[in-house]
Amino acid sequence: MAAALANDSPKYRNSLICCSPRSADVASRSSSSTSGCVSADESIDSNYVPKSMSNKKLKIHSTATREEIERAINQCKELVLSSPQCSDERKWLVRYLVELRLRLEDLKDSDGQLRAKVAIKGHHFEQQMNIANRKQYCDHCSGIVWSIVQSSYICTDCGYICHYKCVDEVCRVCAHVVMTEKGQFEMNICPEKGLAAQDYKCAECSTALTFKDAWNEPRLCDYTGMYFCATCHWNDLSVIPARVVHNWDWDKKYISRLAYQMLTLSWSRPYIDIESINSKLFNFIAELEWVHKMRKDLEWMRRYLCSCGEGSSLLSPLSVQLGDVNKKYSMAHLQAINDGTLESQLTELTEECRSHITNCALCSGKGYLCEICSNNEVLYPFDNGAIMCEKCNSMYHRGCWLRKGQKCLKCLRLDERRKITSQPADDIDSHLEYEIDKFVE
């Protein structure tokens, strides 16, 4: 059974290693002690109870006391001896007996008292009470968490899961704390420095790494560029933000557990400013350029809707799409652009906001008129056929602006007025005297 658990553990995922010789010895001894009832078949779920055992009421609550667990162990031992050899009942009973003993060890280490909440390394651990029927693995030792009887903790901030006995030995800083301090993604593609820079040790737990010993094989994290051991690097696959921003590369790469939790936690946070990092990306990705333009138009529309009571209902979807910073994108936004879903959502939202602004008496009254053609058509900053002066914010038709040589009439008047007000007093007096003399003649 230990060999099967080792094969199933994420520690050895996509690795040439299946299980350790020590685990194989333990498995062989366990098989001999139970008359060959334990096999390497991992298809039996620990939460599954055979029909013949369902009426025994062996299952205990996750908050069971030490006396209740010891009573369940004795009962389970008797049922193991009385069950047929190599049967499903005996397989399940032996597996369940192991879980009970692990749970009893946890209670002995804590003197029978379970801590409901634990704070360490920035984590805020809480005891898992209602665990879903899925396999969980400890982020510290990469061992399986026996959810029925073995107590475990989960961090409410980053989702770090660990056994009760492993919580005091956690060495990984909470991913929520790391991303809050940084406030941005790593924008260099795999900034690898090499094993020598790490002193040939794991970047997280400082375990010695070597290529000679297959059990301590170094694994490269494509996000951080650091090397980790198999316990801290489970070969999780994820899209790398730096590769997306620089090359629009959506291929998934192998990353460490810390990087996986950081990316999962910050996937929807607007951390990426494409204009400052790689502005040329807009020239190659047409969908990204179109979405960027619509986001700018929606930002202008939000200014109109903020001062309109009837349009306040449209502010909520605008905040979801734009966030607090209009220029920045999240990985969820970029993924939606790549899938084509964000473009359709923004197009629908843009038409809805435009329809309200043009038909609302309050919002349409804040429009602009073209001074060049003196047309009664109302212009808005988000119109495709209009252009705004960057100095005085005057609006013109794009055709009128080009016909006037891209010169703003309001700016020209301001410049002339500025020249008159800045003219020296002596020049003004001499000019007036000259005009008077000429008039007298």
- In the chain, what are the domain boundaries? 2-109, 175-265, 276-364, 369-441
Amino acid at 70: E
pLDDT at 11: 66
Q: Which residue positions in the chain have pLDDT lower than 50? A: 1-3, 5, 16-47, 428-441
pTM above 0.75, yes or no: no
Q: For residue 242, give Cα distances in angstroms to 162, 180, 188, 190.
A: 30, 18, 6, 8
pLDDT at 38: 34
CA-derived radius of gyration, the chain: 34
pLDDT at 50: 62
pLDDT at 427: 52
CATH domain 175-265 topology? Herpes Virus-1 (3.30.40)
> 164: Cβ–Cβ under 8 A, 6 or more apart, which residues?
106, 109, 110, 114, 150, 151, 152, 153
> 232: Cβ–Cβ under 8 A, 6 or more apart, which residues?
172, 202, 203, 204, 205, 256, 257, 258
- Work out whether strand 144-145 and strand 219-220 pair parallel, antiparallel, or are unpaired: unpaired
Report yes or no: 356 and 363 within 8 Å, Cβ to Cβ: yes
Tokens of 4: 């099967």
Q: For residue 396, give Cα distances in angstroms to 135, 350, 416.
A: 63, 22, 21
Q: How far apart are CA 105 and CA 381, in angstroms?
A: 69
Report yes or no: 314 and 305 within 8 Å, Cβ to Cβ: yes
pLDDT at 435: 42
pLDDT at 41: 37
DSSP string, 25-41: HHHHHHHHHTTT---S-
